[in-house]
C-alpha cells in the first residue's frame, strides 16, 4: 500500500490543502472523505466536467434530451460489499438508489458470437450475472453527487485545469508550483506516470508503459425502436464490437438510442480518426439485432477512449502512497478488477488513510 519513508519532508505544511488531481469517481470519492473529515481539499481536473470515464453526452432523442453514457456502461456491486450507508460501496449505492440517482438495470445480457455476415443474430442466448446498475441522469451524475451532496459540504472543483508538474520538496509536495499537504493522482497509470517524480513512480510501480485497452463508443439514435427487446449484449469473436447497450433501457426512459463499444484492435487502429468506425459499426447493428439492414439513424457519433481499461492491475493494493513525499496514486487499476466499484473503493480508502493523518 505505501512505499517506505525516507529522508522526506516533515509534517504537512499548516493550512495547505490536499490536492487531488482527477475528478473521476476515484478522485471524487477521495475528496469526499477528506472534505467530510474537515481536511481542506483542492480538486483539479482537465475536463470541462467531472466524471472521467463515467462521462456521457447530452443528446436529442424522440424521448427528449437525455444523457448517453459513453464510458462505463453500468456498474456492479460486489456481493461481499453489504451493509447500510457508510458500509462500503453497497452503502453508497443504497443511498443513491433511495434518492433515485441509481437504478437496477438488468442481471441478464444477450450473448452474440461472430459477425452478422457469418450468421450471428440476437437468438435468445443470454448470460445471467450480478445486477448491473445504471443512472437515470447518466453515470456522471453520481460523481456530481459525491462532489455536492444535498445538505453536505461541496468539494471545490477547479475544472479545465490541466496539471503539468508534481514535485516533491523539502516542505512537502507541490502541484504546478503550489504547495500541498499531500497530493493524490486519481487517474490511469500512464497519466500519473507523466506527472510523478521519477523516483516516486519507481517506488509505487507506476509506469507510462502500463498498457491500457482503447475503446471507441459509437452511439446513434432513431425516430423509434426497431430492435427486439434486449438490455445489453456481449458480442464475442466479432472484430467490430465487444458490447452493445440499449441506452434507453439502461436509463429507464426508453429513448431509442444504442451505444456500441468497439473491439480493441479496431479501436487502436482508429484512435486518430474515430468517426471512420461509425459507418461499419452502424451497418452491423441491423443484421445483428434484427436480421435486416440497419434503418437510417437520426444521427450518429463516436467518442474515443485511448485509456479505457488497464490490462494489468495493482491487484493486492487499494492505492499507492509514497510516505517519503506524501504523493499518492489511486483509481481503478488499484484492486483486482478495473471497474467503477474498484475506483470508488480505491479513492475512498486513500481518503480515509490521509484523513487519519491530516484531519484536525
- Contact residues for ligand FAD, defined by CB under 6 A: 21-27, 44-47, 52-54, 71-75, 161-163, 186-188, 191, 195, 215, 217, 261, 305, 308-309, 331-332, 338-340, 343
The smaller minimum CB distance to ligand FAD, of residues 61 and 348, is found at 348
DSSP state for residue 81 in the 8-state scheme? -
The smaller minimum CB distance to ligand FAD, of residues 44 and 181, is found at 44
Q: Give 265's contacts (C-beta < 8 A, 6+ positions apart).
A: 239
Q: Smallest distance, Å, CB 159 to ligand FAD? A: 9
Q: Smallest distance, Å, CB 137 to ligand FAD? A: 16
| Cα-to-chain-centroid distance, residue 15 | 31
**CA angle, 45 then 51 then 55, to 5°:** 125
For residue 354, the SS3 value is: helix
Q: Smallest distance, Å, CB 46 to ligand FAD? A: 4
The smaller minimum CB distance to ligand FAD, of residues 62 and 161, is found at 161
Q: Smallest distance, Å, CB 255 to ligand FAD? A: 19
For residue 221, count CB atoms less than 10 angstroms from its CB and return exposed for 0-12, middle for 13-18, buried for 19 or more: buried
Q: Smallest distance, Å, CB 260 to ligand FAD? A: 11
The smaller minimum CB distance to ligand FAD, of residues 123 and 162, is found at 162
Dihedral sign for Cα atoms in the order 118, 121, 127, 133:
positive
The smaller minimum CB distance to ligand FAD, of residues 217 and 350, is found at 217
The smaller minimum CB distance to ligand FAD, of residues 137 and 226, is found at 137
Instruction: Using alpha carbons, list the distances in angstroms from residue 154 to 12, 25, 42, 151, 349.
Output: 23, 15, 11, 9, 20
**CA angle, 360 then 21 then 173, to 5°:** 60
**CA angle, 283 then 287 then 288, to 5°:** 100
Q: Smallest distance, Å, CB 261 to ligand FAD? A: 5
Q: Smallest distance, Å, CB 295 to ligand FAD? A: 25
Query: CA 233, CA 126: separation in Å to the nearest integer?
Result: 8
Side-by-side strand order, sheet with 241-246: 126-134, 103-113, 232-236, 241-246, 257-262, 212-221, 299-310
Q: Smallest distance, Å, CB 216 to ligand FAD? A: 8
Query: CA 84, CA 91: separation in Å to the nearest integer?
Result: 5
Strand extents, DSSP E, the chain: 2-3, 18-21, 41-44, 56-61, 64-69, 103-113, 126-134, 157-158, 166-169, 172-175, 178-179, 182-186, 212-221, 232-236, 241-246, 257-262, 299-310, 320-322, 327-330
Q: Smallest distance, Å, CB 347 to ligand FAD? A: 7
| Cα-to-chain-centroid distance, residue 134 | 13
The smaller minimum CB distance to ligand FAD, of residues 203 and 314, is found at 314
The smaller minimum CB distance to ligand FAD, of residues 8 and 149, is found at 149
The smaller minimum CB distance to ligand FAD, of residues 29 and 116, is found at 29
Q: Are the C-beta atoms of residues 23 and 47 closer than 8 Å to each other?
A: yes
Q: Smallest distance, Å, CB 195 to ligand FAD? A: 6
The smaller minimum CB distance to ligand FAD, of residues 74 and 227, is found at 74
Amino acid at each position: 500500500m505505501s512505499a517506505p519513508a525516507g529522508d522526506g519532508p516533515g509534517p504537512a505544511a499548516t493550512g495547505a490543502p490536499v490536492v487531488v488531481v482527477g475528478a473521476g469517481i476515484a478522485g471524487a470519492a477521495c475528496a469526499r472523505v477528506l472534505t467530510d473529515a474537515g481536511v481542506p481539499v483542492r480538486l483539479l481536473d482537465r475536463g470541462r466536467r467531472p466524471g472521467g470515464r463515467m462521462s456521457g453526452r447530452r443528446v436529442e432523442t424522440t424521448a427528449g434530451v437525455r444523457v448517453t453514457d459513453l464510458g462505463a456502461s453500468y456498474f456492479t456491486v460486489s456481493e461481499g460489499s453489504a451493509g447500510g450507508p457508510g458500509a462500503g460501496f453497497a452503502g453508497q449505492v443504497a443511498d443513491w438508489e433511495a434518492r433515485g440517482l441509481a437504478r437496477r438495470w438488468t442481471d441478464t445480457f444477450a450473448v452474440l458470437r461472430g459477425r452478422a455476415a457469418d450468421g450471428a443474430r440476437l437468438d435468445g442466448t443470454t448470460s445471467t450475472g450480478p445486477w448491473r446498475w445504471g443512472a437515470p441522469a447518466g453515470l456522471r451524475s453520481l460523481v456530481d453527487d459525491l462532489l455536492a451532496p444535498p445538505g453536505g459540504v461541496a468539494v471545490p472543483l477547479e475544472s479545465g485545469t490541466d496539471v503539468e508538474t508534481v514535485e516533491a520538496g523539502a516542505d512537502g509536495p507541490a502541484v504546478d508550483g503550489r504547495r500541498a499537504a499531500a497530493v493524490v493522482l486519481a487517474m490511469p497509470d500512464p497519466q500519473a506516470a507523466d506527472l510523478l517524480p521519477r523516483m516516486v513512480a519507481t517506488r509505487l510501480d507506476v509506469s507510462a508503459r502500463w498498457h491500457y485497452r482503447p475503446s471507441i463508443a459509437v452511439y446513434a439514435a432513431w425516430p423509434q425502436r426497431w430492435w427486439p427487446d434486449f438490455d445489453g449484449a456481449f458480442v464475442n469473436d466479432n472484430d467490430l464490437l465487444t458490447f452493445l447497450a440499449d441506452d434507453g433501457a439502461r436509463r429507464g426512459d426508453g429513448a431509442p438510442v444504442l451505444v456500441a463499444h468497439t473491439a480493441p484492435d479496431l479501436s487502436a487502429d482508429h484512435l486518430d480518426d474515430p468517426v471512420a468506425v461509425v459507418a461499419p459499426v452502424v451497418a452491423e447493428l441491423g443484421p445483428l439485432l434484427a436480421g435486416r439492414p440497419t434503418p437510417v439513424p437520426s444521427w450518429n457519433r463516436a467518442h474515443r477512449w485511448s485509456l479505457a481499461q488497464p490490462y494489468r492491475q495493482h491487484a493486492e493494493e487499494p492505492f499507492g502512497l509514497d510516505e517519503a513525499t506524501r504523493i499518492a496514486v489511486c483509481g481503478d487499476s488499484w484492486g483486482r478488477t478495473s471497474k467503477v466499484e474498484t475506483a470508488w473503493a480505491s479513492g475512498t480508502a486513500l481518503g480515509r488513510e490521509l484523513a487519519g493523518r491530516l484531519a484536525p
